Structures are given as structure tokens and as C-alpha cells.
Amino acid sequence: MTGPLMCRVDPSKRNSGGSSDMTPRLSGFPEFEPTGRIIELSILDQARRVFELHGFASIETRAVEPLSALQAGGETAKEIYAVSRAADRDVEASIGLHFDLTVPLARYVIEHSHDLDFPFRRYQIQKVWRGERPQEGRFREFTQADIDVIGKDSLPFHHDVDLALVMLELLAQLPIPAPVLLVSNRKLAEGFYRGLGVTDVVGVLRCMDKLEKVGPDSTRNFLTDVLGLSQSQADACLALSRIETPDESFIAQVQALGVRDPMLDAGLAELAAVIQAGAGERPGSIRAALRIARGLDYYTGTVYETLLSGMPQVGSVASGGRYDELARDGRTTFPGVGISLGVTRLMSVILAGGNVQASRAVPSAVLIAVWSEGQRSQSNAIAQQLRRRGIPAEVSPSDAKIGRQIRHAERRGIPFVWFPATEDESDSIKDIRSGIQTPADAAMWEPDAQDLWPRVSSTTVTGV
């Protein structure tokens, strides 16, 4: 229970859904209280809706993959969780928990290639696991929401543009600081390094990927002392990495560095297409940022990262790119482009911000009071009438004094208490926020739309 993410809630606010608790008693494995889960569910629901409106089909893959497939990437090998039956602990485990949704997607596409129609547009919202050291914004178990488009043999470039816009459309709906999607292109960087006369292009890519962590001086030293670049080559690499523009002016800035290469030109044209479309559709939320490299080797073109305004320390909340050879099956190659949204990282930002609320801790809009245990069936019947008309309702768990039953509703943020008819009075409903009580008929009564289901709202507008 330490660290900036563990925003314990002021008990006086808790029941209004004022905020929620993220309690990694097992370090790196966050869990939410019901109000936090309502906020998470609203993010997941919005993600699903945006993805499905854009024609992405849902899939889920199993949680485990062969260790050999998981470890093929190299860099994350030591973070993989191996899985073995507790009874056979001496047997070497051969499977592990997936650490992303891209490795499983590649395997799924190969296994189902004869049954899928390409280009295959899929979204996938699942937990992934990485045994890294827990720290701010990093977890050992977290939820990702991925969209990818996978082609067979080829995949038109316009999908690189589309995916950026879909993810920005989703991000713009969430109660988070304004997102800025930073885009670069592997061809641009690789072509630039080649045009510069660099031989170890992959080495420079990896080195530049660490620029933000280690700073420009160490990067320059590594480029010259370890990778053997000249001072002017190293300067040019660093100059390239400093280019960041909201429009296509990055092209002139790159050209001013005096490097010429056909692959560089291809990269500049691709990046320009993404930035141009983004500036038209989502002005201010997309930028060319040539320092973006993405460490993983399989990217071959567009690369994306997404920062939240004023929160660079959180890191990227949505990352991905183009991989021209995601999977290969004999003679067939499956190129793809994808972006992965870090849902748990967004949740950590939202909960730490403390300005996003769920309107209540339970789905119920109405608590049906119970006059006595002998009359519970009367209350049950009213609840069922409401539910059949789509109104979430629960029945008081006890026939305690009415004041206690009302407090039961208050503690959960349930806005209405229903009083079943008695010999003297007809059915009535009380809005316990205003105290106003009115006669009501369970076959007719409707709450205001905003009271029907728990709502998630933000006290300050931080989004775009």
C-alpha cells in the first residue's frame, strides 16, 4: 500500500463512488474495488464499441503459448512467466503466459488461415503478464485492448492511417489528459542511417530507442565509441531524433540534414500520409516524432506511441506499428499493422487523478423495501417487474427498520427506494437524494436515463 498509484479513498467519499482503490497486495497485480471496476468496464465498453463500429471482430486467444514462441523475441525472455502443473514440478515447463497479444495473434492467424478472410480486422481485449519489476505505470498483470489488421501476402498502407484514427477516436472519448499520438517510420530511420553511411543500422535503431532513457550525451558516446559512427554521423542521428512536428514540415527538416536514400523517401511519404490524415481528422492529437523507434525488431514501417499531455512519466498508453512479416506459413506471409491500448495503465492514471467518478458502486437503480419477511415475495415481484423493463433493481436483504433500509441504499449510491403498497397506501418511490416521494406503478415507472445505470463522469474536462 505505497506509491502514487495507491490512492486510498477518503472513506467519506467512497460510497458516492468518489474514487477507487487499486490494491496490489501481490505487487504488480492490481485489483479494483467495485467503483473502480465500473470505470474500467466503461473504458472496455467504449473500446469495444469503437472497434466494432469500425468493423473489427473480437477474438480471444488462450492465456498460454509455447515458451519457445514467447522467448523468440529475446528482449523480454526473462520476464516470461512459465506455467507448469504443480504436481509435475520436476518436469520442465514448456508453456508460459503470453506477455502481449501479438505473439498469440500471429499463431492464431497461422492456425486459422484457411478459415479467416483477409484482410482480417480483429480486436482483442485480454490480460497479459510480464514478470518485470513493478513500478509506476508498470504491472505484472494488465489488460490490453489491441486492434490489428492482418493481410495475406500484402496489406495496403492506408490501414496504417486508419488504425491511428481509430485509436485516437477511442482515446478522445476517455476521461484522460489529452492524448498525443506520436508517429514515426522504421523505413525513414533505417533509410536515413543507411544514407548516412552507417553499417550497423539495427544497432543504431536499438541505441536510438534508448535515447529518452539514457539521454543525448550517453547516446552520442555509444554511437561513436561502441557503434563506430563519426561525430558528424552521430550528430545527424541526434538531429533526426529531435524532429517533431504537428504537420508535414518534418519532411523539409529531414531534407535539411542533407541525407538522401530511397528507403528514407519511402518512409517520409508514409509518415506524411499518416500525419496529413491525422491533422485533418484529429487536429492537435497526432505528431510526427522521429525519435520514436519502438524496441521490438519486427516493426518494418509505421511505429506509434501515445503520450498523455503533461504526463510523460506515465509512458506510452497506446503503442504499435507495422510488421510486414508478422507471421509466415510456408509460402504465405501475413503482414499486419496494429496498436495496443494499455487499459491498466490508463486506469492507473485515472485513479491517481482522482477526478473521475462512478455515480454508484452497484448496478441497481432501485432498492425495493421489504415491510416484513412474510411480505418479501411482494417486493420480489416488484423488482422482477422493473427488471423485465430493463431497470436494475435489488430487494432489501432484510426487513430492518425503513431508516436502515434507506441507509443500505445510500451507502451504495442507489438513488431510489421503492415502498410496496400497504393496505393504506399505494406503491410509492422515493428519490433519496431529494427526499421526494411519489406514487408509482412498477409497470410504468421509469428513472431518468442518467440514473438508469451507473455513470462514469469526470469533474474536470481533461480530454480533447
Question: CB of residue 131 vs a copy of itself: minimum separation in angstroms?
Answer: 4
| Using rule CB under 8 A, residue 67 touches a copy of itself | yes
309-348 residues in contact with a copy of itself (CB under 8 A) are none
Q: State how far the Cα of 382 lies from the Cα of 344, in Å rounded to an integer.
A: 39
Least distance in Å: CB of 119 to a copy of itself? 5
**Which three three-digit cell numbers place residue 68?**
519457445
Whole-angstrom distance, CA of residue 87 vs CA of residue 333: 40
- Considering only 5, 22, 38, 101, the residue that binds a copy of itself (CB under 8 A) is 38
Cβ 375 to a copy of itself shortest distance, Å = 12
Which residues in 239-252 are b (16+ Cβ under 10 Å) and which e? ebbebbbbeeebbe
* Comparison of 55 and 439: residue with beta carbon closer to a copy of itself: 55
> How far apart (Å, rounded) are the C-alpha atoms in residues 180 and 317?
10
By CB under 8 A, the residues from 145 to 164 that bind a copy of itself are 151, 156, 158-159, 162
Structural Rg of the chain based on CA atoms: 27
Residue 141 or 261: the one with the smaller Cβ distance to a copy of itself is 141
How far is CA 13 from its chain centroid? 27
Q: How far apart are CA 228 and CA 234, in angstroms?
A: 9
Residue 361 interacts with a copy of itself (CB under 8 A): yes or no: yes
Nearer to a copy of itself, 10 or 225 (CB): 10
Q: Looking at beta carbons only, is 73 or 203 nearer to a copy of itself?
A: 73
Residue 54 touching a copy of itself (CB under 8 A): yes
Q: How many residues does the chain have?
A: 464
Mask of contacts with a copy of itself, 105-134, x by CB under 8 A?
A: ---x--xx--xxx-x-xx----x-x-x---
Task: List the one residue from 41, 172, 239, 406 that touches a copy of itself (CB under 8 A).
Answer: 41
Q: Is 463 in the site for a copy of itself (CB under 8 A)?
A: no
From CA 183, how far away is CA 7, in angstroms rounded? 33
Q: Between the CA of residue 432 and those of 410, 415, 418, 437, what are the distances in Å?
A: 8, 6, 10, 8
> Which amino acid, 458?
S
* β-strand partners of 456: 358
Q: Which of residues 231-270 bind a copy of itself (CB under 8 A)?
A: none
Phi-psi region of 433 (alpha: psi -120 to 50; beta: other; left: phi over 0): alpha
Between residue 81 and residue 110, which ones bind a copy of itself under the rule CB under 8 A?
81-87, 89, 93, 95-97, 108
Kindly tell me which of 79 and 329 has the beta carbon lying closer to a copy of itself.
79
Q: How far apart are CA 416 and CA 228, in angstroms?
A: 72
First to last CA, the chain: 33
The correct pick among 5, 18, 19, 21 for binding a copy of itself (CB under 8 A) is 21
The least distance separating a copy of itself from the CB of residue 152, rounded to whole angstroms, comes to: 11
Nearer to a copy of itself, 119 or 191 (CB): 119
CB 412 within 8 A of CB 364: yes
Distance CA 455, CA 46 (A): 13
Of the candidates 261, 349, 337, the one whose C-alpha atom is nearest the C-alpha of residue 309 is: 349
Torsion angle defined by CA atoms of residues 393, 413, 361 and 353, in that order, rounded to the nearest 10 degrees: 150
Strand partners, 219: none
Q: In 3D, which of 457, 433, 441 has the Cα closest to residue 365?
A: 433
393 sits near a copy of itself (criterion: CB under 8 A): yes
Q: How far is the CB of 194 from a copy of itself (least distance, A)?
A: 28
Is 294 one of the binding residues for a copy of itself (CB under 8 A)?
no
Question: Which of 14, 98, 282, 287 is the binder for a copy of itself (CB under 8 A)?
Answer: 14
Residue closer to a copy of itself (CB basis): 258 or 390 = 390
> Interface with a copy of itself by CB under 8 A: which range of 204-212, 230-238, 249-257, 373-381?
373-381
Please identify which residue in 3, 4, 26, 283 interacts with a copy of itself, judged by CB under 8 A.
26
Cell numbers placing 133: 519489476
Contact between 366 and 429 (Cβ < 8 Å): yes
Residue 108 or 192: which CB sits closer to a copy of itself?
108
Among 10, 53, 228, 457, binds a copy of itself (CB under 8 A): 53
CB of 128 to a copy of itself, least distance (A): 10
Closest to a copy of itself by CB, 97 vs 417, is 97
Nearer to a copy of itself, 388 or 433 (CB): 388
Among 16, 79, 238, 309, binds a copy of itself (CB under 8 A): 79
Q: List all residues 6 or more positions away from 131 whose beta carbon is below 8 Å from its beta carbon.
A: 78, 79, 80, 81, 140
291 binds a copy of itself (CB under 8 A): no
- Binding to a copy of itself (CB under 8 A): which residues in 396-415? 397-398, 408, 411-412
Give the separation between CA 186 and CA 181, rounded to whole angstroms.
16
- Locate all alpha helices (DSSP H) within 354-425, ordered by sequence: 376-388, 402-412
**Does 213 help bind a copy of itself (rule: CB under 8 A)?**
no
Q: Does 225 bind a copy of itself (CB under 8 A)?
A: no
Residue of 203, 363, 447, 463 interacting with a copy of itself (CB under 8 A): 363
**Amino acid at the residue 417:** V
